[in-house]
């Protein structure tokens, strides 16, 4: 079905050649040609179809009124977070009040190759009652086939298209934010994914590509026409990465252009105060997505819902770490390999978590892109948790998981400090 839909929604001639080359290896396996790509079990018509009425599902398209509906209004959405947004971490955020969760970015071609590592990224925990999978890809054939596969073989509430990833090799492949430069291909991706599945198709994007040039407002009416169920806008361009403040005034402008399609805003929310200020600047949005703010203080969701700021003590923060470690050992296993996997992901998270400044120490509200001052905590544990030194993060991991193995080393994958 996915191939038929893609043919009916062809991209421009130039982009078509490019996309066909990109997905040739995936189509050869289905057409009977030789391929090293493992075959994925996608539901197709079989010669052994039982007798009965003639089905017309390949002729009659799913109508918009038959698509699954989600009420997005007023919800708090945990951002899809590469590396750190794993299942144990999402489970922790659900405990603290996140309404919507989404998998880490998964590469569509790797899912179709049945890569165990890629499928592990999109595993869902039972506590995730509103859960989506974020796909990254550069052509409609692969993205559409992958969407069909997810609906057939997973219990998932929506599929999100990554149009915001700023990573260089993703961008150069024409995926992530690179798709913003290929409008015809992007149109085919969104429309074909909508036609092949009853799952809502959502979009997460940035304001543009180049440093001081916002372009996404031109795309908002198109996203609406192509059938997007939700649009999430991170208020920065690709080149800005995480520098400068998110542009919530521009988010408001875009929200009005995509109406009645709901839109979420994303960027620099670290407190209930930031949340309310964002809503003042962007009153038209349906909700907010929180990324780094949740990494620095996962209890931010409960703060927002209770409309106050928590002064979390070092012992309470250590209990949060205990919960994460227990979730990790349950997910990755309690053998040596599971312990060390949990340790590495814990250390990745600590590279963000140490930036939290306890409310009882602050003179003013902590802001996302302001470098935290060096300070001594109210006890030794609070001081240790404030350290930006990797060796201190390892000490914390040893309190929870035992001594590190011989030859152990750690370097954070993420470098998203963005301090002014």
Question: Where along the chain do its domains lie?
Answer: 67-306, 314-401
Active site residue 146: no
Residue 237 host element (H or E): strand 230-237
Q: What is the 3-state secondary structure (H, E, C) of 163-227?
A: ECCCCHHHHHCCCHHHHHHCHHHHHHHHHHHHHHCCCCEEEEEEEECCCCCCCHHHCHHHHHHHC
**Among 6, 165, 254, 258, which one carries the catalytic annotation?**
165
Is the Cβ–Cβ distance between 336 and 322 less than 8 Å? no
Is the Cβ–Cβ distance between 125 and 90 less than 8 Å? yes
Closest CA to 77 of 275, 222, 296: 275
Q: Would strands 287-290 and 158-163 be described as parallel, antiparallel, or unpaired?
A: unpaired
CATH architecture of 67-306: Alpha-Beta Barrel (3.20)
Is the Cβ–Cβ distance between 153 and 41 less than 8 Å? yes
State how far the alpha carbon of 129 is from the alpha carbons of 20, 102, 157, 158, 325, in Å: 37, 11, 9, 12, 22
Per-residue confidence in pLDDT tens, the chain, 420 aa:
666 666 666 644 445 455 445 444 343 434 444 444 344 444 444 444 444 444 444 555 555 556 688 999 999 999 999 999 999 999 999 999 999 999 999 999 999 999 999 999 999 999 999 999 999 999 999 999 999 999 999 999 999 999 999 888 899 989 999 999 999 999 999 999 999 989 999 999 999 998 888 999 999 999 999 999 999 999 999 988 887 889 999 999 999 999 999 999 999 999 999 999 999 999 999 999 999 999 999 999 999 999 998 999 999 999 999 999 999 999 999 999 999 999 999 999 999 999 999 988 877 778 887 777 788 889 999 999 999 999 999 999 999 999 999 989 888 876 544 433
Distance between CA 318 and CA 302 in Å, rounded? Answer: 18
Q: What is the 3-state secondary structure (H, E, C) of 309-370?
A: CCCCCHHHHHHHHHHHHHHHHHHHCCCHHHHHHHHHHHHHHHHHHCCCCCCCCCCCCCCCCC
Query: Is-cis flag, bond preceding 260, omega within 30?
Result: yes
Q: What is the reported pTM?
A: 0.84
Phi/psi of residue 298, nearest 5 degrees? -65, -15
């Amino acid at each position: 079905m996915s191939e038929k839909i893609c043919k009916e929604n062809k991209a421009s001639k130039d982009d078509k050649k490019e996309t066909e080359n990109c997905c040739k290896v995936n189509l050869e396996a289905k057409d009977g040609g030789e391929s090293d790509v493992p075959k994925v079990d996608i539901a197709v018509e079989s010669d052994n179809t039982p007798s009965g009425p003639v089905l017309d599902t390949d002729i009659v398209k799913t109508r918009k009124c038959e698509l699954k509906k989600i009420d997005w209004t007023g919800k708090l959405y945990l951002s899809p977070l590469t590396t750190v947004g794993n299942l144990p971490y999402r489970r922790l955020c659900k405990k603290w009040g996140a309404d919507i969760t989404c998998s880490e970015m998964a590469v569509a071609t790797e899912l179709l190759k049945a890569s165990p590592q890629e499928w592990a990224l999109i595993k869902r925990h039972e506590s995730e009652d509103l859960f989506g999978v974020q796909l990254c890809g550069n052509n409609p054939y692969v993205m559409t086939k992958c969407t069909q596969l997810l609906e057939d073989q997973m219990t998932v509430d929506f599929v999100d298209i990554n149009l915001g990833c700023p990573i260089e090799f993703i961008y150069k492949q024409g995926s992530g934010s690179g798709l913003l430069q290929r409008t015809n291909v992007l149109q085919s991706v969104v429309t074909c994914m909508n036609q092949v599945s009853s799952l809502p198709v959502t979009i997460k994007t940035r304001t543009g590509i180049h440093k001081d040039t916002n372009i996404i407002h031109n795309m908002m009416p198109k996203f609406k026409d192509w059938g997007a169920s939700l649009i999430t806008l991170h208020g920065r361009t690709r080149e800005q990465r995480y520098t400068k403040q998110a542009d919530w005034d521009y988010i408001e402008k875009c929200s009005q252009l995509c109406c009645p399609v709901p839109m979420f805003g994303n960027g620099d929310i670290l407190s209930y105060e930031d949340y309310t200020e964002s809503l003042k600047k962007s009153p038209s949005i349906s909700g907010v997505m929180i990324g780094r703010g949740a990494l620095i203080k996962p209890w931010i969701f409960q703060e927002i819902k209770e409309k106050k700021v928590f002064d979390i003590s070092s012992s309470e923060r250590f209990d949060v770490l205990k919960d994460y470690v227990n979730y990790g050992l349950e997910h990755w296993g309690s053998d040596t390999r599971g312990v060390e996997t949990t340790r590495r992901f814990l250390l990745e998270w600590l590279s963000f978590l140490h930036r939290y400044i306890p409310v009882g120490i602050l003179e003013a509200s902590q802001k996302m892109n302001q470098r935290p001052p060096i300070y001594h905590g109210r006890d030794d544990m609070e001081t240790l948790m404030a350290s930006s030194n990797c060796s201190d993060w390892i000490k914390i991991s040893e309190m929870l998981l035992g001594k590190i193995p011989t030859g152990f080393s750690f370097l954070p994958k993420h470098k998203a400090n963005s301090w002014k």
